[in-house]
A and B are shown apart, each in its own frame.
Chain A
Amino acid sequence: MPTTEITPDPGTGTGTGTGHTTGITPDIAPDSTVAGLDRLETAAGPAVPRARRVFSVLWPKISAVVLALVLWQIVVWSGWKPTYVLPPPTKVFAELRDLVVTGTFWHSVGITMRRAAIGFAIALVIGSALGAVVSQSSIVRRAFGSFITGLQTMPSIVWFPFAILLFKLTESAILFVVVLGAAPAIANGLIFGVDHVPPLLVRAGRVLGARGFTLFRSVILPAALPSYVSGLKQGWAFAWRSLMAGELLVIVGNTASLGVRLDFARTMSDAPLLLAYMIVILIVGLCVDAVFGAIDRRVRRTRGLAA
């Protein structure tokens, strides 16, 4: 396809008009009118300093954590349970501080995170493929649409007996349930996103010549991205929950995962250690969720969907 230099100057249009006969005087739209209007209409407000923005996001979170710790301490002080069952936060955090400097702790985090990553990756592939097929085919949707939602509402823990029958006490049994928990959420996120793509964008894509897979890849999929990312975020939550249930139920030999450590702490009636591990599990879950949250916000901000 040949490309030719366009003359941006409105005054040089002579001789290029082809099908019409009316004369045109050169100076139709002085550039300054257009440029001036553009400036006026897109004037940005003053930028908020980064430090203040970060602070405004952080202080409610920090306050909430402090409040929770205070409540916890009050319950301990009330003497509702003896401190060897419900230790005060200071003791648990001292335990946690000792824990995070040990190599075995990080080894456990490593084992669990590896499982989470593998399980989520498999769920991502299966869920995305499933979502893509179901969203594009009305027959497949009628067959499996409600089935996917049904799977999503099913507590993943009920899959474990069957998973153990199928895979014995192995990592595969855990991964099986993690995938079953996360994949439907991911598929549903994509399906919902595709269903809510504005028809005008699809029409615009078709006018531009996109059909079939090109239309799906260039228009429908990017348009569905915000919902898809929400689905990933939800899928992660399901995966993490299923994984923790799995690590408590399916003890694989010689793998001291976070779940195993947690169960061990219970067996030893070591309440501070048990609570320390629970806090670790909470923090890991929150950190990964924050990553998805950041992606989500970025996607939305690009599209002007969030401030």
Chain B
Amino acid sequence: MSLAAAPLPTRRPNGSAISIDHLSRTFTTGSTTVAAISDMDLHIAPGEFVCIVGASGCGKTTLLNIVAGLDHPTTGTVDTGAGVVSLMFQEGALFPWLSARENVELGLRLAGMKGRATRRDRAMELLRLVQLTEAADRHPHELSGGMRQRVSLARALAQDASVLLMDEPFGALDAMTRDILHDELERIWFETGVTIMFVTHNVREAARLGDRILVLASRPGRVIAEYTVDLDRPRRIESPEVSALAGEVTERLRQEVRRHADD
């Protein structure tokens, strides 16, 4: 699949880019067994932008690991079709010994792209997509936090993924940079047509970006609420509509957190 005119990822029988059915994941240490995720159902349509919010202990890392293929379900199934699944981290996941361009090139090489010159050209295209052409030869420590996350995004896109998982990608950034990156991500999502599963603690961010917001319960993680966001794009994070929706979702999250006060 290409970035400019992305064909739909292979349609699953149920039309989902990600299908998670009855997913459970337990971890056993010694004699204690902890359920990180319990009987989770989650379906994401191709090209959809889904935000997942949850308090601590909602099993988001476990969920992302399983969808990315780094971990296995205890029971249940996860189907991401034939497409590549890519994962972008919060921060510090760039290789510090490589320049921005080389980080992206390594992504391309590991994805199986042949030819040094081809990879170089492609890496520069991807860096242009995230507006970092000028910083191509700088190393991560010479970039700002926002720039590093854009390199991470370019590297994730280098895998030609049909599904992009994002693990609080803007959590460590200041509000202004985050605002700008929301616009950038929305544009890139629009240009590439990639399916995005975006995990965040920031409910406003979820309301700003998502087609849908899923609220996860904590200990064990499962989906307890779902909001379809019918607001026009691009949204402004400070708009009354986004705030109202964020308030609603926050209230639902607090309810869930209060439930644990009695545990």
Contact = CB atoms under 8 A, between A and B. Distances in A.
Report, as a range, how many residues of chain B touch the other chain: 35 or more
B67 to A, nearest CB: 11
Contacts of A218: 106, 109-110
Given A41-B144, A42-B142, A19 B190 contact: no
Interface in B146-197: 146-147, 155, 159-160, 176-177, 180, 183-184, 186-187, 190-193, 195
Interface stretch (A21-29, A92-100, A155-163): A21-29
B221 interface: no
B129 A28 contact: no
A210 B233 contact: no
Contact of A23 (B68, B92, B139, B233): B233
A41 B145 CA distance: 9
B136 interface: no
Nearest to B235: A22
Interface string B124-140: 01101101101100111
A222 B94 CA distance: 13
A17 interface: yes
Interface stretch (A6-14, A143-151, A183-191): A6-14
Report, as a range, how many residues of chain A touch the other chain: 35 or more
Given A28-B186, A208-B155, A37 B180 contact: yes
A41 B234 contact: no
B232 A23 contact: yes
A31 to B, nearest CB: 6
Interface of A: 1-8, 10, 13, 16-20, 22-25, 28-29, 31, 33-35, 37-38, 41-42, 198, 200-201, 203-210, 214, 218-219, 222-223, 225, 299, 302-304
Given A22-B232, A42-B143, 6 more contacts: A8-B131, A19-B46, A28-B186, A29-B180, A37-B177, A222-B95
12 contacts: A3-B2, A3-B121, A6-B4, A8-B131, A18-B193, A34-B131, A38-B132, A38-B135, A38-B144, A200-B93, A209-B112, A302-B139
